[in-house]
Amino acid sequence: MGLPKRDDQYHTYRDYLNWPEDTRYELIDGIAYAMTAPNRRHQEVLLELARQVANALQGHPCRPFIAPFDVRLPKGEEADEDIDTVVQPDLCVVCDERKLDERGCRGAPDWVVEVLSPATAGHDHILKRTVYERAGVKEYWLVHPVDRIVTVYRLEDGRFGVPEVRELKGKQGVGVLPKVEVDWEAFAGRLGP
């Protein structure tokens, strides 16, 4: 089951900017999907991951961001207001500061992480994976807290290759960020049963 749609109309960032802030949406190819509120476990996993990444990138030009943070993914040179894909990854790292502005990021982050929940798993695995691949995200991680695995996609020749799937054990480096290593042992008690 996918995330609920706002409606069946085609929307752009212009519309998105005018919606009330009490409900968050992501736009994918003009379709607005309502985002679900994350549960406590999701937030604990995201916070620990963000803490480790921020610490590892201290003094480095690459910058981490957590949701809510608008990532606008143009398909060409269209004006911001005409962009029809705006996502809010749980965690992303942007190394090209020219992509950053007051609204968030315009263009593909270098690394994106989504922490999965039953409500978002299909959306993140299918729709967002396709969007991130098309946009040129170099590395995309899907963290499965309940299953205690991480699925890693890396961009190769413009396409995500066969994913690497591994247990949340030991330490794991981020391919596109050699200074970053995630210590999964620090997540004890925050993962699923």
DSSP letters for 70-108: -EE--SSS--GGG---EE--SEEEE--GGGEETTEEES-
- Take residue 96 and report the two structure tokens written for it: 């090209």
**Domains assigned to the chain:** 36-187 (3.90.1570.10)
Give the model's pLDDT for residue 13: 97
Q: What is the pLDDT of residues 137-173, one digit of tens each?
A: 999 999 999 899 999 999 999 999 999 999 999 999 9
Q: What is the pLDDT of residues 95-141, one digit of tens each?
A: 999 999 999 999 999 999 999 987 778 888 889 999 999 999 999 99
Q: What is the pLDDT of residues 35-45, one digit of tens each?
A: 888 888 889 99
Give the model's pLDDT for residue 59: 93
CA 86 to mean position of chain CA atoms = 11
C-alpha span between 53 and 174 (Å, rounded): 10
Give the model's pLDDT for residue 39: 85
Mean pLDDT calculated for residue range 69-88: 96
Mean pLDDT calculated for residue range 59-85: 96
Compute the mean pLDDT over every residue in the chain, rounded to the nearest whole number: 92
C-alpha span between 113 and 93 (Å, rounded): 9
Give the model's pLDDT for residue 119: 76
Give the model's pLDDT for residue 89: 97
Residue 52 forms beta bridges with which residues?
Answer: none
Query: 1: exposed, middle or buried (C-beta count within 10 Å: 0-12, 13-18, 19+)?
Result: exposed
Closest CA to 111 of 60, 58, 48, 177: 177
Give the model's pLDDT for residue 1: 47
